[in-house]
Amino acid sequence: MSHASISRSVCVILGVLGYVLSGLCQPGQPLDSLLSELQAHPQKDDRRAELLNGLAYLLHTSDPQRSIAYATEVIGFANQLKDRKNLANAYTQQAIARIVTSDLDSAKIWGTRSLELQRELGHKEGIAASISNLGLIYYRLNNYQQALAYFQEAAQLFNEVGSPTAVMIYLNMSAIYAEIKNFRKAEEYIFLARKKNGETGDKRIEAYALLNLGTLYTDEGDYEKGRQYLDSALYANQVVNDQANIAKVYGNLGSNYSRMKDYRRSNGYYKQALAINHTLDNARSIAANSTGIGENYIMLDSLSLAYSYLSRGLSLGKSAQAIDVQRDASGNLSRYFEQIGRYDSALYYNRQHALLKDSLYNESSQKELTRLELQYDFDLKEQGYIQQQAIDKLQIKQLWLYGALAIVLVGGVTGYFLNRSRLRGIRMRTEMREQELTLQAETLLFQQQLSESELKAIRAQMNPHFIFNVLNSLECYILENDSRSASKLVQQFAQLTRIILENSTQSMVTAEREWLAVQLYVELEDVRFDHTFDYLFEADPSLDLTKVILPPMLIQPLVENAILHGLRHIPDYRGQLEVRMTQTDGHILITVVDNGIGLATAAKAATAPYKEKSIGIRGINERLDLLRLHHPESCPSLTIDEIHENGKTGTRVCLRLPLVYANFQSMNPDEKVQVKEGI
């Protein structure tokens, strides 16, 4: 498990609407002065609503429960308000305070109400702020695609109305790019936010920016630079008394020292973060901190403490709907159970970790994030072109005022066509660049798919259950003093392992090696199941298996399914497995036939339907999709049918692959392949 993901807290800004929009005061007005004014103004009117909303905003990161109480009071006398913006602002304060406590379902309800009311009022700045807060909620739910779309929409609205609040959105967008590992883009938005904030000098913005930079450099592996920014962020957030961000700084310092393998110091920072998050009742951050502490205890060999913290982290991560925290906790629980020798539990949590990881970074969401990024950059440039065009028109008007009519006409016509040509050229270059980036992204995704499918194939062949069962069989032979059988089993297992590992380094291998690997696997499974079935391997004599090449690790999962889900459950007759390799119409046809219990019965007996859901079948289909890209003229396919013969059921699987020869050599029909039969 990588330390990179544990308790990583990129900072996103809460409640960009703030109390500035309520018309209350300037940022930085002391809390005591607001409390005094509130006490002196008991009337339930718009002024009291402004004061309550201001207090709710000031307290949302340090005392979210009080913030909720102040906003609730405003909602209680909503019928007496003349300015409904105050009610919309109260809805916003409800949303951001609940984000701090990780009550994301309630936060989404209040955020949606705020957006609906702001749209009804036609308040553009309020609409942008509400959209930004919804983006923050989806960010916390690890839905980065939806979050980025909301942040981009909010940034465009803030820029349209000329609001300085746009600087806050840039920090939120930097957090999204950091999550998807686009560190340069994240750094670009942070520096843009700091540059624009230099005009107003908002200490809260600077504190957020320092925290994000510290987290960013830690993720990139520059731990010293990361700690320098995190130390600066700690001081800056203490100045503005942002307790939520102080906890994030401590959590990120814990992650930083954990990566440096200073686990005891790391736990010290994590526990400081944990204490603050308990006061804030922030379930998500408590889960992340607990997971980080649990991982450190694994490294310190304090396994009982590790299990306590990791279990807590997983439980709270589920309640807070934090997929990334659940992923990290599951991965570390897998390591914990592996160390104590409970391999079944270790395998379970390892699978949970893989599923959660895939749900965060699936192919479609990555493509959508890339598209949103390109579209947003294009829109920004387009806005720049429009602004420049407006400036050009103003200059032409000035020439019309101070110059001759003829010069104005000539200049106007010339400028128009030059500007039109320039815009056309810029758009063409932008489109070409977008196409180039899209092609690069598709190439990277294809390489990633190929690597992942090969890894899945290796796992399908060398899964833990198979290895453990072979070792158990070996142990039985040893205990029975059957040294000959034990030695043969060791040789077969070693030969199979070597072939699988060697084949996994190649995208294409000879059919001879793949054929041998499948035979060795079946022989080992035959020993495992105490010779309860017969098997037959038959290859077309016209095929030269030493020259024909095919993708490795495609046949074994089909044979495994036939044995484990078909032959294994035969009630009252002897099983028969037949594996054949033939050639037809420029293709190789591999057929696996068993007389097992059949598809329908196997689906009922299994905890999950293996034909559609198993990793092996899914991995084969993925690799066939990739194979079609290399051989578009062929039609690689996989078909599975249930057969009924002589009153018995069975299954026939047909794998169709293109016939390819190594180094483009022709087939030698005189060479024969040895066929091995086991009874």
Phi-psi map region of 531: left, alpha, beta (phi>0 left; psi -120 to 50 alpha): left
Q: Measured over all CA atoms, what is the biggest interatomic distance in the chain, rounded to whole angstroms? A: 112
547 or 372, higher pLDDT: 547
- Residue-wise pLDDT tens digits, 555-605: 888 998 888 888 888 878 888 999 999 998 888 999 999 988 888 777 776
Do 58 and 96 fall into the same domain? yes
Question: Which residues are within 8 A (CB) of 222 and not within 5 positions of it... i.e. 6 or more apart?
Answer: none
Question: What does the pLDDT read at residue 87?
Answer: 93
pLDDT surpassing 80 at residue 146:
yes
- Containing 658, the helix (H) or strand (E) segment is strand 648-658
Question: What does the pLDDT read at residue 366?
Answer: 53
How many other CB atoms sit within 10 Å of the CB of residue 506?
A: 13
Question: What does the pLDDT read at residue 27?
Answer: 43
Spatial CA neighbour of 197 closest among 188, 212, 209: 209
Do 523 and 571 fall into the same domain? yes
Do 72 and 115 fall into the same domain? yes
The secondary structure of 415-459 as a DSSP string is HHHHHHHHHHHHHHHHHHHHHHHHHHHHHHHHHHHHHHHHHHHHH
Do 308 and 348 fall into the same domain? yes
> The whole model's pTM is what?
0.47
DSSP 550: E
Do 354 and 367 fall into the same domain? no
Do 612 and 544 fall into the same domain? yes
Question: What does the pLDDT read at residue 660?
Answer: 87
Q: What is the CATH number of the domain that holds 512?
A: 3.30.565.10
For residue 72, the enclosing domain spans 17-164
Instruction: Select the highest-mean-pLDDT range: 25-29, 133-137, 296-300.
Output: 296-300
Do 417 and 348 fall into the same domain? no
Q: Is residue 82 part of a domain?
A: yes
Q: What is the CATH number of the domain that holds 72?
A: 1.25.40.10
Note whether 93 and 70 are within 8 A (CB): yes
In angstroms, rounded to a whole number, what is the distance separating the alpha carbons of residues 94 and 100? 10
Question: pLDDT confidence of 449, banded at 50, 70, 90?
Answer: low
Mean pLDDT of the chain: 79
Question: pLDDT confidence of 118, banded at 50, 70, 90?
Answer: very high
With a pLDDT cut of 90, the percent of the chain lying above it is 30
Q: Is residue 456 part of a domain?
A: no
Question: What does the pLDDT read at residue 360?
Answer: 67
Q: What total of structural domains would you count in the chain?
A: 4
Q: How many CA atoms lie within 13 A of 334 on its CB side?
A: 15
Q: Is residue 206 part of a domain?
A: no
Question: pLDDT confidence of 612, banded at 50, 70, 90?
Answer: very low
List, edge to edge, every strand of the sheet that includes 533-539.
637-645, 648-658, 587-594, 575-584, 533-539, 677-678
Residue environment code for 167-197, b if the CB has 16+ CB neighbours within 10 A, otherwise e: bbbbbbbbbbbbbbebeebbbebbebbbebb
C-alpha to C-alpha distances, 589 to 23, 79, 418, 574, 629, nearest whole angstrom: 76, 76, 63, 26, 19
Instruction: List, in sequence order, every beta strand (DSSP E) within 540-636.
Output: 548-550, 575-584, 587-594
In angstroms, rounded to a whole number, what is the distance separating the alpha carbons of residues 495 and 374? 50
Question: What does the pLDDT read at residue 331?
Answer: 93
Average confidence (pLDDT) over 60-88: 91
Do 468 and 440 fall into the same domain? no
Q: Is residue 318 part of a domain?
A: yes
Give the three-class secondary structure for 539: strand
Instruction: Select the highest-mean-pLDDT range: 17-31, 186-200, 450-464, 606-620.
Output: 186-200
pLDDT surpassing 90 at residue 262:
yes
Average confidence (pLDDT) over 131-154: 85
In angstroms, rounded to a whole number, what is the distance separating the alpha carbons of residues 271 and 619? 42
Average confidence (pLDDT) over 394-406: 69
Do 522 and 411 fall into the same domain? no
Question: pLDDT confidence of 445, banded at 50, 70, 90?
Answer: low
Do 474 and 593 fall into the same domain? yes
In angstroms, rounded to a whole number, what is the distance separating the alpha carbons of residues 185 and 206? 18
- Residue-wise pLDDT tens digits, 294-328: 999 999 999 999 999 999 999 998 988 888 899 99
Q: Which residue type does 424 have?
A: R
Q: Is residue 493 part of a domain?
A: yes
Q: Is residue 520 part of a domain?
A: yes
